[in-house]
């Protein structure tokens, strides 16, 4: 069993909006995921030449190599073809994604809890997001364990994340 503080799931985020990318990176890291962030599709491909994440989060509209082309390349290339892909988009028209070979779509803006729930549905919880059992030893032959929970946010901690994401939504949807 992994140690409670050791991230076990790895997520690659390809998002060109700095505020949103950083907010998602902080959110997922805080939930126990190991996160790699890329500014565009080309940087995402560069990372993928070195790592194999459990989930790839792709913004649809990015400069250079955009989301649809990145997704096409991923689905044509082993071992990336089977990695779940979650698309981020500000367009509410879901018919746009009908022909994209993706596993999920997250419309912007979104609630943090909604986003984490979608990630968990796709690849399971990060180690610190859920409960972890830490063995403490035995007493009279009976094992003892301690259930851990993520510590509560410091005063203003959640507001910081919320304000960061709120700033990200002030940009043009992509």
* Per-residue pLDDT, 95: 76
pLDDT one-digit tens code per residue, 73-98: 999 988 899 999 999 998 877 777 78
Q: Cβ(105)–Cβ(114) under 8 Å?
A: no
- Quick one: what percent of the chain has pLDDT higher than 90? 57
Take residue 174 and report the two structure tokens written for it.
Answer: 């992509």
DSSP type of residue 51 = -
Q: Is the pTM of this model over 0.75?
A: no
Lowest mean pLDDT among 2-6, 56-60, 93-97, 117-121: 2-6
CA terminus-to-terminus distance, the chain:
39
Q: Among all chains, which residue has been given the structure tokens 């069993």?
A: 1
Average pLDDT over every residue of 112-135: 76
- Quick one: what percent of the chain has pLDDT higher than 70? 69
Average pLDDT over every residue of 123-137: 59
Q: Cβ(57)–Cβ(12) under 8 Å?
A: yes
Domains observed in the chain: 10-169 (3.40.50.2300)
Confidence of residue 138 (pLDDT cuts 50, 70, 90): low
* Per-residue pLDDT, 7: 47
How far apart are alpha carbons 78 and 28 in whole angstroms? Answer: 26
How far apart are alpha carbons 134 and 4 in whole angstroms? Answer: 7
How far apart are alpha carbons 42 and 25 in whole angstroms? Answer: 19
Q: Among all chains, which residue has been given the structure tokens 């959640």?
A: 158
Preceding peptide of 79 cis, ω within 30°: yes
């Amino acid at each position: 069993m992994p140690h409670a503080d050791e991230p076990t799931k790895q997520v690659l985020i390809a998002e060109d909006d700095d505020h949103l990318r950083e907010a998602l990176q902080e959110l997922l890291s805080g939930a126990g995921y190991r996160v790699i962030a890329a500014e565009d599709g080309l940087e995402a491909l560069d990372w993928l030449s070195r790592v194999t994440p459990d989930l790839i989060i792709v913004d649809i509209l990015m400069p250079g190599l955009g989301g649809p082309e990145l997704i096409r390349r991923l689905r044509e290339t082993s071992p990336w073809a089977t990695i779940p892909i979650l698309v981020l988009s500000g367009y509410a028209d879901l018919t746009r994604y009908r022909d994209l070979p993706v596993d999920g779509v997250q419309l912007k803006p979104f609630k943090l809890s909604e986003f984490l729930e979608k990630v968990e549905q796709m690849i399971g919880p990060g180690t610190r997001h859920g409960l972890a059992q830490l063995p403490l030893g035995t007493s009279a032959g009976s094992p003892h364990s301690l259930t851990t929970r993520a510590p509560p946010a410091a005063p203003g901690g959640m507001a910081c994340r919320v304000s960061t994401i709120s700033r990200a939504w002030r940009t043009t949807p992509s």
